[in-house]
A and B are shown apart, each in its own frame.
Chain A
């Protein structure tokens, strides 16, 4: 059993994050607990030169500091008592048993194992992915490593919106600049998983079709105008942005829709009558739908429809 020491904060290397696996920790309950009963479990430090490195207890130390407590009850390991990987492993297991990890924390852990502690990816897959209840395969490791490399802003979005692994992979294909621009677009929208996938796919395809960067697409006036409209709800904004992206992705289709709409308007159809082209303009033939509530109304619609055949616009529409 290690002796418990009271270590003043000045002696702790607070910026040394070698063993930290925290990202956006939720400190609320910990804060209440410390306020109510003080620190229950001492932190674990390692002596390093004339300072102490934090091994376990980053969150506790952060709350204590916030509460302006000057020293922390600690168990202390000697400088060469354990190697760094063993200490990281202690930190990992301590956190696993005490609180569990969010997806960014999993990503940070795996990234440190591969890049800082130089563990072979195959060994990380076999030994560490199951600890996080993840399937042990290359693709999953790749997904988390790519998340670890993203900017904090993107990581925060992933956590807040609980972005799926397939969408994380999509985000990872973007350059850092493109991802930043993307966030400026998607943070104010209301996107579920499917909508986010749709947006990412549309943006990626527009970018590749037009050989531009995503920022150029997002900076387009029609998109910026939607984002600037304060009175839109997030859902309305999402629908409008999606419409613009669809038009950019499918310009010929948009043109055909516009032409059809123009001609349809020129027909001056009576109210209650709608005219439709075949889905995606595949096949020929138009579909007319109408609704009526009385025999007179029915007669009026039929007589106005019978006049359509003489209209040039109508004939042209049939040819589409």
Chain B
């Protein structure tokens, strides 16, 4: 595949959420197009060549805030092993049958609640430059998979577009998916870095999605992300460029003024975005593995994320009390349906009971939800 993009736009790079302090370059990745593009985009950042990645990672893990430090230091390397995996989902809950692509790990933005803080054992913002091998893996997967339309996305171990001005792997994947018939790509972001996507011939095979939170929480809990206004502006640009849009109210956060905050958020969204261009909307109450709280509160002593009434669920994750989640989801569904009755709304990692209490019905199981997605996508992209 040809990599024909120009070197990074300086304005976009200025908007980058952190100052990159150093680039650690694995020799194997040196000649790759993605590496060259990145080095050209960051000409003033010192580069150190690395022979022993494991040792470098070990050294970093022993410093005071490896997570914060990792966000300011890039590691450019190759990924070995499987990079395409079923979304881990969660046991005893309904999952949507999504596949995650690991193209970047870690994220330059710094949300207080980000699960990556407790999850990654390599703290570096790591860019994998062996894109051609990635495409081979995706190709292999799509040729074997039985489902008529698979959904794949890169927003699991990073934000899909936060690095795009420097490392345009999402644009590269969007061009690839434009030529595929049985796969659809989702790019999930809290950034506004969409300009590189706009000129692409995506054929509606890439969904650009935003995770949305009331503005006051963005300021308090989502450091380095785009403001609500910027996100919606970016979504509007993508809408105009013909991309299907996805909206994720995830994590939904229980705070004193949540009703007002989320109602205004829905109003604001539909004052700018055409609901008919939204392919799906998800909702997921804030949930987290038990060890995240200690890690996050140490890094963000002022965070209010862990002040809700949360308890361990059947999958071991900590969630808001069911009654709270159900109330939040129901109200959201009401506001969303008032704006547009035909929206495709689903719950992320919830049980059948909760689905039933919110919608009055529930998918039979994860497979059933997956089928509903397929129907939705077919209808939406006109297949």
Contact = CB atoms under 8 A, between A and B. Distances in A.
Given A139-B64, A208-B304, A208-B307, A282 B323 contact: no
Contacts of B313: 280, 282
Q: Is the interface of A mostly helix, strand, loop or mixed?
A: helix
Interface in B305-345: 306-307, 309, 311-314, 319, 321-324
Contact of A281 (B301, B304, B322, B351): B322
Contacts of B304: 208
A282 B322 contact: yes
A279 B314 CA distance: 9
A253 interface: yes
A252 B307 contact: no
A280 B311 contact: yes
A16 interface: no
17 contacts: A173-B301, A205-B306, A251-B309, A252-B321, A252-B324, A253-B309, A256-B323, A279-B312, A280-B311, A280-B312, A280-B321, A281-B322, A281-B323, A282-B311, A282-B313, A283-B351, A284-B353
Contacts of B306: 205
Interface string A279-305: 111111000000000000000000000
A252 B322 CA distance: 11
A138 B306 CA distance: 26
Q: How large is the interface on B (under 10, 10 to 19, 20 to 34, 35 or more residues)?
A: 10 to 19
Given A139-B64, A208-B304, A250 B309 contact: yes
A205 B307 CA distance: 6
A99 interface: no
A283 B323 contact: no
A59 B313 CA distance: 56
Nearest to B311: A280
A139 B322 CA distance: 38
Interface residues of A, number: 18
Interface of B: 64, 301, 304, 306-307, 309, 311-314, 319, 321-324, 351, 353
B64 A282 contact: no
A209 interface: yes
Nearest to A251: B309
Interface of A: 137-139, 173, 205, 208-209, 250-253, 256, 279-284
B321 A253 contact: yes
B282 to A, nearest CB: 20
A279 B324 CA distance: 15
A173 B302 CA distance: 11
Given A208-B304, A282-B322, A283-B353, A252 B309 contact: yes
Residue among B304, B307, B313 with most chain A CB within 10 A: B307
A282 B309 contact: no
A283 B321 CA distance: 10
A210 to B, nearest CB: 10
Nearest to B308: A209
A77 B314 CA distance: 71
A250 B309 CA distance: 6
Nearest to A319: B357
A126 to B, nearest CB: 15
Contacts of B309: 250-253
Counting from the closest, the 4 A-B pairs by CB-CB distance are A280-B311, A209-B307, A250-B309, A284-B353
